[in-house]
Amino acid sequence: MGRHVDRFNAAVVSGQWSGVVAGFADDAVLSFVGIPGGQYRGRDEIAAAYESRPPDDTLTVRDSQSHRDVDTVAFDWAAGGSGTMRMRWEGDLLAELVVAFDDLGPRGGSRQPSRWSSTARPRGESR
């Protein structure tokens, strides 16, 4: 769990998402809840989402719990707002990542916690 968060924060700063994407299994699923972020299936689709609309804010883990192959992480965005990630692992790779936003903080509805989560479309819709 910590490696994913570290890679994510480093990618936000550097703009290089290959390290984050490498942490996903080939058939992984990335989903968003509570915002129009959609769902991405497979490493290639996840990579395209990160590259075309990269997140623009780092996060800090507030709390985490682990049970077998699932980590649940409560986090805060650096610019305000909070959320929860549910990470299901297959060995060292993410099989599923579900990101839910609890509070968008001072950005409210005018700016989502990341550029790509606010403008990406669910799987199957044209981009």
Q: How many CA atoms lie within 13 A of 45 on its CB side?
A: 18
Residue 6 pLDDT exceeds 50: yes
Residue 112 pLDDT exceeds 50: no
Residue 11 pLDDT exceeds 60: yes
Which CATH number does 2-119 carry? 3.10.450.50
pTM for the whole structure: 0.80
Confidence of residue 53 (pLDDT cuts 50, 70, 90): confident
Q: Where are the domains of the chain?
A: 2-119
In whole numbers, what is the pLDDT of the chain averaged over residues? 84
38 against 8, higher pLDDT: 8
SS3 51: helix
Contact 27, 89 (CB under 8 A): no
